[in-house]
Amino acid sequence: MTPSKESIVDATVPSAGRIYDYLLGGHHNFEVDRQAAQMLLNMSPFSAKLVRLQRWCLQDLAHELTVVRGFDTIIDFASGLPTQDHLHFVVPKGTKVIYSDYDPVVVEYAREILGNTPDVYFFEADARQPEELLGRPEVVEILGNKRNVALVYWGIAMFLSDEDLSRASQALYDWAGTESCWAFNAQGAGISKDHPGTLTVLEMYRNMGTPLYVRERQEYEGLLKPWHPDSNGFISLLDWHGFEQDELSKEDLAVFGPTGAGYGVYLLK
Ligand SMILES: C[S@@+](CC[C@H](N)C(=O)[O-])C[C@H]1O[C@@H](n2cnc3c(N)ncnc32)[C@H](O)[C@@H]1O
């Protein structure tokens, strides 16, 4: 039996997915999430801009993967809520979008939001074990024999340990067809690790039971092998979306660094 929302929600504990939703201006969050998000904003006002920037970049890659690179199927891990600015609003009609998230509350809300939207699916799945989503009977039925697909890990890498990321990367590599492309957000690379704002944010997430892993671009490169970047290499989020550095305050830049708190990269086999 599917658990009801009441039975799976612990409204006393903030959830990373719902905090994210609040920062994006969404309504799928609770008081406890709003309080945590507000604390985050007080400590780090750029957080709201950062999640918005990450969503814009997500729209950019949705266009790139489908219209430019020709993929008709996108499999997205750790999707969060599929609100108005998510992948399926950008891709051409008929593109199959398979979303997923490991938070059952996010999955339930997501299904409410999507209703019967054609060609768009949402499953509960853990990005640390991508093979579980890929092997799910419903997903196997949607994909048929298709293995040349677009894969997406956006806004999730900081939630994954080195071991998890490297394992997931190998599992995707083993599963994917040779023409596949993996759009990956090297989240957090380039931020100022010792800035008091960064340290407070890291502590807050640690206390929520979802520690964040901060790593440099070179560390990402190692963990993502055997995938390799396409000829554009790692692109700072600011460049990915064409965001101007002068749109950030001095304080924003001091915390999040000149990349805009990470890179995006299209990985190939
Ligand atoms: C920061 S949001 C990213 C949302 C979206 N990908 C984006 O870029 O806008 C993080 C989401 O990842 C989910 N998440 C965290 N760890 C996960 C994991 N191991 N597997 C699947 N989802 C996860 C959370 O529930 C949350 O909804």
Reported as a single tens digit per residue, the pLDDT across 9-60 is: 566 778 877 888 888 888 888 898 899 888 888 877 777 877 888 888 999 9
Domain 53-268, CATH: 3.40.50.150
Between the two ends of the chain, the Cα-to-Cα distance in Å is 40
The more confidently predicted of residues 88 and 53 is 88
Out of 156, 160, 213, 263, mutate this one to test ligand 1's pocket (max ligand atoms within 8 Å of CB): namely: 156
Q: Residues 72, 95: contact at Cβ < 8 Å?
A: yes
What pLDDT, on the 0 to 100 scale, is given for residue 206?
A: 87
For residues 18-36, one letter each, b for 16 or more C-beta atoms within 10 angstroms of the residue's C-beta and e for the rest, the string is: bbbbbbbebebbbebbeeb
For residue 37, the tally of other CB atoms under 10 A from its CB is 21
Q: Is the C-beta atom of 169 inside 6 A of ligand 1? A: no
What pLDDT, on the 0 to 100 scale, is given for residue 139?
A: 98
Expressed in angstroms and rounded, the spacing between residue 116 Cα and the centre of ligand 1 is 23
Structure tokens at 48: 């709201």
Expressed in angstroms and rounded, the spacing between residue 43 Cα and the centre of ligand 1 is 22
Residue range 191-217: mean pLDDT, rounded: 84
Q: Residues 57, 185: contact at Cβ < 8 Å?
A: yes
Packed helices 31-43 and 16-23: angle between N→C axes, nearest 10 degrees: 70
Residue range 221-246: mean pLDDT, rounded: 89
Give me the helices (H) in 64-154, please. Answer: 104-114, 130-134, 137-143
